[in-house]
């Protein structure tokens, strides 16, 4: 019995293998399947359409150039978002001096669930105002539904650090929403 996630991983693995063989149609199918999630991630991570468009284009070129070296084809999703993250980070590094997040975690309130009927567009706007490190972990975990292990691969950090980063990101988002009176 396979879960939906396992079936999707198998479908990805099959497409990747066909790409490695050199089938142009498999690249088309892979792009059809992953363009939107990639665009969503890039849009959130970069904060504007032009940068996201360049990022997505760069990611697909790197996928084409690197796919022969992808041994574990069932891990395609983590590999793809890992590339996307490196492209975004390269762009950020080039554009700005290193910026660090200075959140005073000790003063943050305990986490509570976000209202389920909260307007999604507004939530996207609030996400866009978070620092990039926190924004990307929330986007990948909640919007792209990557598992903790996949996030650990993508972000190149241990699973424990992923959890603490997620915790901190949720706290920052909650504080932001609380300050605006959206939640109490």
Sites of contact with another protein (CB under 8 A): 2, 6-7, 10-11, 13-14, 17-24, 27-28, 31-32, 35-36, 39, 49-50, 53-54, 56-57, 60-61, 64-68, 73
Cβ 78 to another protein, closest distance in Å? Answer: 18
Q: Which is nearer to another protein, 10 or 105 (CB)?
A: 10
Q: Which is nearer to another protein, 32 or 119 (CB)?
A: 32
Cβ 88 to another protein, closest distance in Å? Answer: 16
Tokens 């929403």 sit at which residue?
A: 177
Q: Which is nearer to another protein, 49 or 119 (CB)?
A: 49
Cβ 152 to another protein, closest distance in Å? Answer: 25
Cβ 122 to another protein, closest distance in Å? Answer: 21
Q: Which is nearer to another protein, 61 or 105 (CB)?
A: 61
């Amino acid at each position: 019995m396979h879960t939906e996630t396992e079936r999707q991983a198998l479908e990805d693995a099959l497409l990747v293998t066909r790409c490695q063989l050199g089938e142009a149609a498999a690249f088309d199918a892979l792009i059809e399947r992953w363009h939107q999630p990639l665009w969503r991630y890039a849009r959130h991570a970069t904060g504007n359409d032009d940068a996201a468009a360049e990022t997505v284009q760069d990611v697909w070129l790197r996928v084409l150039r690197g796919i022969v070296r992808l041994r574990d084809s069932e891990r395609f999703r983590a590999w793809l978002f890992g590339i996307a993250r490196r492209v975004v980070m390269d762009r950020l590094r080039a554009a700005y001096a290193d910026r660090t997040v200075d959140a005073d975690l000790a003063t943050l309130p305990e986490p509570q669930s976000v209202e389920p009927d909260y307007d999604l567009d507004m939530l996207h706007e609030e996400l866009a105002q978070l620092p990039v490190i926190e924004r990307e972990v929330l986007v990948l975990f909640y919007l792209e539904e990557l598992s903790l292990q996949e996030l650990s691969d993508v972000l190149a950090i241990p699973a424990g650090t992923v959890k603490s980063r997620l915790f901190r990101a949720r706290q920052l988002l909650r504080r932001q929403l609380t300050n605006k009176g959206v939640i109490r």
